[in-house]
Structure 1
Amino acid sequence: MQVRPGIAYDCDVLVVGGGIVGLSTAFAITRIAPGTRVTVLEKEPGPARHQTGRNSGVIHSGIYYRPGSLKARYAVRGAAEMVKFCAEYGIAHAVTGKLIVATEKDELPRLHALVQRGRENGIPVRELSGPQIAEYEPEVRGLAAIHVGTTGICDFVGVARQLAEASGAEIRYGARVERIDRRPELGVAVRTTSGDVVRGRVLVNCAGLYCDEVAWLTGDDPEMRIVPFRGEYYELARPDLVRGLVYPVPDPAFPFLGVHLTRGIDGGVHIGPNAVPALAREGYDWGVVRPREVARTLAWPGAWRMAGRHWRYGAGELARSVSKGAFTTAVRRLLPAVTADDLVPTAAGVRAQAVLRDGGLVDDFLIKEGARAVHVLNAPSPAATASLPIGREVAGRALAMLGSV
């Protein structure tokens, strides 16, 4: 399989990955440069089957993220754009606001730091004393809290479907990438497992859980590896206990927000996720084990260094994974009325966490470029919230590259 001189291109931009970031990129390209031919290859039979479709459905405000970071800028901008997009296309959504609740004294300085960060990021925040929490959530207990008014919820799978339709791109489902032949002077040819070959001038890698492997297939070293973390959820059998969205104060040393309570657009309340190492990139329960993927993770020095740095945190997460009682205890810090019988297991998700060789967890969105290729290498939460501005950023890079070849 080769890109050969004189062979017609099937498209101008070839996007690998039909999650919300890949589809936002396709949408942005056709909006910015009408007439640009875009093809999206997605290995599943439909869009948004993994990270996009297996999260809390929260439109994040951007309060957690370092001012000036891509996450902060894109989440704040993206939250407003996502609400507007949902309203324009009739996609289920609501701006609910949320509480971030401190239940221990040592969390109070971190809660205050979030207030300051929110203000730096231009996010409206109301500080609450313990008794004032009941104004929003009568069953929730804490020493203090903040209310973030711009947080919301939506149907991200519906958003992804609409982006696919509105982009005008050719979407090929069931198209798993097997091999990539890149010739900087000519273009990129991708062969799928079905034997089809698709040729494009520029490739955009939005492969999520497999973005590092796709980068390697192009010949680029991503200088990171995806380490999958499973997030396990329960559904609340008594949804009347929770009115909206309730979060703990996060641990700033780890890029997860902790077990939280989320009333979704369907009226149900999800509780979770925790964060445990998955034994496959699509390891949605402990029974899914792919030895080759586990071996690749263990062969990456950063995985061991990360484990050595965060083992105490990880031990707690594992305990909550194997023990419903431990999970219930964690929830009761926020919601004392809950019992183990109130927690009904539901679908889990897997986060594609980029880990550096030194064991550092990539904290911001990470986008890199190679010859005729743009790689989105770290786009976990809040990527769904920020998908429209992320799509424009990636589209701009792809189109600039297209204009130079």
Structure 2
Amino acid sequence: MTRDASPSAPAKAARGASLVFVFLVVLIDMMGFGIIMPVLPALITDLTGGSIAEAAVDAGWLAFAYAGMQFLFGPVMGNLSDRFGRRPVLLACLGMYGIGYAMMGWAPTLAWLYAARIVTGVTGASFSVAYAYIADITPPERRAQNFGLIGMAFGVGFIFGPALGGILGEFGTRLPFFAASGLAAINFLFGLVMLKESLAQDKRRPFSLIRSNALSAMRALGGQNRVVLWYAAALVFFTTSGIVYPVIFAYYAIQAFGWTELTIGLSLALVGVGAALVQGGLIRIVVPRIGERRAVLIGFGAMLSANIIYCFATVPWLIFVAIPIGWFQGLIQPSVTGLMSRAVDDRRQGELQGATSSLNSLAAVVGPPLFTAAFFLFTQDSAPVYWPGAPYAVASVFALVSLALFWRGSGLHYAGEGADLPPDAETDADVA
């Protein structure tokens, strides 16, 4: 009996350490993303000597490069891990991630900064490997619980990343970049010692470039029913709209109110706290009581209300009114995703989630240059009208389009189309 129990204890401990490592991979990725947000405007202006309006344009293209690499290399990293195992791909990504942030900290020119952002975009595309690792080591009945660790890591990383970046930025513009690099290096060393390979040799498959194409995943949507297509289109426009916050907020706060890195970082941390509270707790209470569709409508109402405040705020305290109102837009994506998953049968769930993930990545590519161009147009010296909040007006247009697309899809769904009706369809069928 003792002989049987003793081998299982180390195995259980090893699985626990591996889960901790995967959690830290995602956490550090999000912290690295958040930690530089308060200080990136100052770094760009230092390198270029330009204005905040011009720096925002460069930031938009930097975000474009980062998201573009994630869009292209997410499927590649997943397929490489199917061929060579999860451990080497995760460790390689983490090591290069640390190098990328060190490059940003040392960057002597803007071109160097672009090169570093491309490196971090490629290696930050390791989320697919992290999900695969968790699936490898977790029984099917516990996967949802462990996948929740990834969502928790996103939330925690976005709370502490900007706050830490704002605090460190008080001591030097480049210090947060080296801090992000150091966190990645520490996690790399931890993984080198503690992380065990999760994919057995007999379960590996040859690497295929054809299967590593994000566009192939999106083509799968063509075979879905029209309810799913309306929902997917709504999510794309919603994702594009939501990107305005991480891309523009720091530049908007500096231009409109003269905020410091510390104030920006703490404000963004407050955004992260609200997102964690709504998506981690409130949604579990709200959706069962009022249904997904009403939750989505509340979310869009909050999003548009917050955007109106950002558009026209003339005093800084209004931003601290807009932030908690904006928390409730966290109801939108989980609710739409839940409805969309009901509209297809169980055999096509994986195909659907892969396709929508690629679409959302594509939205993250399109949004940043668009919003930063609007910011530049209305804040440069020759602007026709001085309006720092203009990007939030553009985001509101995308949000309204998303709401219209969702309304059409939900009307069809609640009227009886799709694989499974929502539980509140009987009371809401008249909307169709």
TM-score of Structure 1 vs Structure 2, range by shorter chain? under 0.3
Normalised TM-score (structure 2): 0.26
Taking structure 1 as the reference length, the TM-score comes to: 0.27
